[in-house]
Amino acid sequence: MTITCDVAVLGGGTGGYVTAIRAAQLGKSVVVIEMDKLGGTCLHRGCIPSKALLRSAEVYAEIGESESYGIETTGVQLVFPKVQRRKESVVEQLHQGVQYLMRKNKIQVIKGKGRVTGPSIFSPRSGAVAVELEDGEMETVVSANLIIATGSRPRVLPGLEPDGKVILSSEEALTLEELPASMIIVGGGVIGVEWASMLADFGVQVTVVEAAGQLLPQEDEEVARELQRLLKKRGVKVLTDTLVDAASCEVTDTGVTLTVRKGEQSQSLAAEKLLVSVGRVANIENIGLENTDIRTDKGVISVNSNMQTNEPHIYAIGDCIGGLQLAHAASHEGIMAVNHLAGEKLHPYRQHLVPRCVYSRPEVASVGYTEKEAKVLGHDVVTGKFPFSAIGKAIVYGMKDGFVKVVADRSSGDLLGVQMIGPHVTDLIGEAALAQLLDATPWEIGEAIHAHPTLSEIIGEAMLAVDGRAIGF
Ligand SMILES: Cc1cc2nc3c(=O)[nH]c(=O)nc-3n(C[C@H](O)[C@H](O)[C@H](O)COP(=O)(O)OP(=O)(O)OC[C@H]3O[C@@H](n4cnc5c(N)ncnc54)[C@H](O)[C@@H]3O)c2cc1C
């Protein structure tokens, strides 16, 4: 059977389903082709399930600290299968929501594996999608425009291939029914750090092995140092500048052993389980790109600033084009693609203005350039910094670790970046992102009145600190 529509979306993850909704809003007839579940990685194997587990870990940790709030507890018990059931119900609630949005916007969803075809009798130009349905039948979707949003999967390190039992990727880790006593985490990026923080809160012994000189290698050095200090305080062993010798990995009766090396020194690590979190690989194989003139570069689909591939009627968005590989980046790119194909005015996409968040305890968030990046770009940099320990509400909350750092250009006064570590900074970063989008200067943001007592006061103070005008420290 052949289905025709204005816009076909290959992949119904965060990028894909948001793209579809925007296209429907613009009056287009839309088909989404999804081989698994609407919501993709973010909803089923990424953002949402991991944050649901992190929330349980946070509650558990806070109960452990309850005496400092004057609350004595007894008989507290962590029942991990129940933690998993809560996670599943959060995911399912949102999954239902996405399905409802498809119905509400009259978007046709086809469950099956899609492959882009070349020119044929159905479609004189490449870009139709042949869909293999679950029952083995085939359907063809012919559209004026195609948006490829096939996402990504965990990168596998040769020698440390996940077996789903002892060696895990983030996908298997999310479905553990029992917590291990100990875990080695290979990779101290966002996923590795979130897992380290969560497992530490659940009482698991954690060792993080990171090849770079700091955790979160893309983030500000001071933030990474503070994070490492705070994780260590909670018992997490962090090994930076350290390489794993994958060939040495052995699965034993009790777990896994692995040799790691820092310079000339090597040491053997042992744990019940090992999590490999060393990045993501774009899903660009077996989707028919060879039938098109679409170009790829370093494993991702190449697009221009409108998200168009080398075939102008075919767009690509989200993790399959690389870049930041974040859910909100994927949906923004999808909206841009649809706005472009519909002839709407586009605002230039400035990737450094995409907020980056880590949901560890404490959280980390940033937007714009770090001090180091700004210097490399040739700015005469001035910074302002303010600690949470001088913010009333942080003390009331018992969460006074961390700080906000503002990076600005000394001569123009332009705001170049904001980095944060501390309580609820993943929510606070929105103000900094808006400020940068609107080209506000630190002085202007400092002039905005922040309510007292709120955590947001720290943003005003850190902005004022750029000119040495912070009040509370
Ligand atoms: C553990 C973890 C935690 C994360 N946490 C965060 C976070 O807190 N915040 C954040 O912003 N990002 C987070 N991410 C990243 C985020 O999940 C991704 O950036 C986001 O899902 C990308 O969306 P996407 O639509 O490009 O791809 P995906 O969500 O991967 O969706 C792609 C979809 O395409 C489908 N598909 C692929 N090939 C085909 C085909 N041939 N035919 C039909 N369907 C196909 C797949 O089944 C999938 O549903 C996290 C990721 C992980 C792994």
Q: Is the CB of 19 under 6 A from ligand 1?
A: no
Handedness of CA 373, 376, 378, 383 (dihedral sign): positive
CA distance 393 to 397: 6
Q: Is 291 left (phi over 0), alpha (psi -120 to 50) or beta?
A: alpha
The residue to which tokens 């990171």 are assigned: 210
- Beta carbon of 327 within 6 Å of any ligand 1 atom: yes
Name which residue sits closest to atom 52 of ligand 1, judged by CA. 46
Calculate how far, in angstroms, residue 264's C-alpha sits from the geometric centre of ligand 1: 39
Q: At what angle do helices 80-104 and 14-25 cross, to 10 degrees?
A: 20
- pLDDT attached to residue 120: 84
Extended strands (E) in 120-166: 129-133, 138-148, 152-154
Tell whether the torsion through CA atoms of 456, 457, 458 and 462 is positive or negative. positive
What are the extents of the domains in the chain? 2-153+281-341, 158-278, 362-465
2-153+281-341, which class in CATH?
alpha beta
Number of DSSP helices (H) and strands (E) in the chain, helices first: 13, 23
Cα end-to-end distance, the chain, whole Å? 69
Q: Quote the ligand 1 centre to 43 CA distance (angstroms).
A: 8
**Cβ(162) – ligand 1 distance below 6 Å:** no
The answer to the question of whether 192 is labelled as a binding residue is yes
User: How far from 63 is each of 55, 66, 68, 379, 390, CA to CA, in Å?
Assistant: 12, 5, 10, 46, 25
Q: Are 467 and 442 in contact (CB under 8 A)?
A: yes
Distance between CA atoms of residues 366 and 228, nearest Å: 17
Q: 373-412 burial string, b = 16+ CB within 10 Å, else e?
A: bbeeeebebbbbbbbbebbebbeeeebbbbbbbbbbbeee
- pLDDT tens digit at each of 473 positions of the chain: 899 999 999 999 999 999 999 999 999 999 999 999 999 999 999 999 999 999 999 999 999 999 999 999 999 999 999 999 999 999 999 999 999 999 999 999 999 999 999 998 878 888 899 999 999 999 999 999 999 999 999 999 999 999 999 999 999 999 999 999 999 999 999 999 999 999 999 999 999 999 999 999 999 999 999 999 999 999 999 999 999 999 999 999 999 999 999 999 999 999 999 999 999 999 999 999 999 999 999 999 999 999 999 999 999 999 999 999 999 999 999 999 999 999 999 999 999 999 999 999 999 999 999 999 999 999 999 999 999 999 999 999 999 999 999 999 999 999 999 999 999 999 999 999 999 999 999 999 999 999 999 999 999 999 999 999 999 99
- Same fold? 2-153+281-341, 158-278: yes
49 lines ligand 1 (CB under 6 A): no
Q: Is 340 an annotated catalytic residue?
A: no
User: Residue 89, SS3?
Assistant: helix
Is 29 among the annotated ligand-binding positions?
Answer: no
427 labeled part of a ligand binding site? no
Please tell me the residue having the least CA distance from ligand 1 atom 26. 318
**Of the candidates 447, 462, 266, 448, the residue with the CA atom closest to the CA atom of residue 383:** 462
3-state secondary structure of 255: coil
Beta bridge partners of residue 301, listed in sequence order: 296
Q: Ligand 1: does its nearest atom lie under 6 Å from the Cβ of 319?
A: yes
Burial of 118 (0-12, 13-18, 19+ CB in 10 A): middle
Q: Which of 14, 31, 42 to mutate to test the pocket of ligand 1 (most atoms within 8 A of CB)?
A: 42
Residue 171 CA to ligand 1 center (angstroms) comes to 12
Please tell me whether 319 is known to bind a ligand: yes
Spatial contact of 471 and 461, defined as CB atoms under 8 Å apart = yes
- Domain 362-465 is found in CATH 3.30.390.30: yes
Cβ 328 under 6 angstroms from ligand 1: yes
The span from the CA of 338 to the CA of 343, in Å, is 9
- The CATH code of domain 158-278 reads 3.50.50.60
Radius of gyration in angstroms for the set of CA atoms belonging to the chain, rounded to a whole number: 24
Specify the residue for token string 């006061």. 457
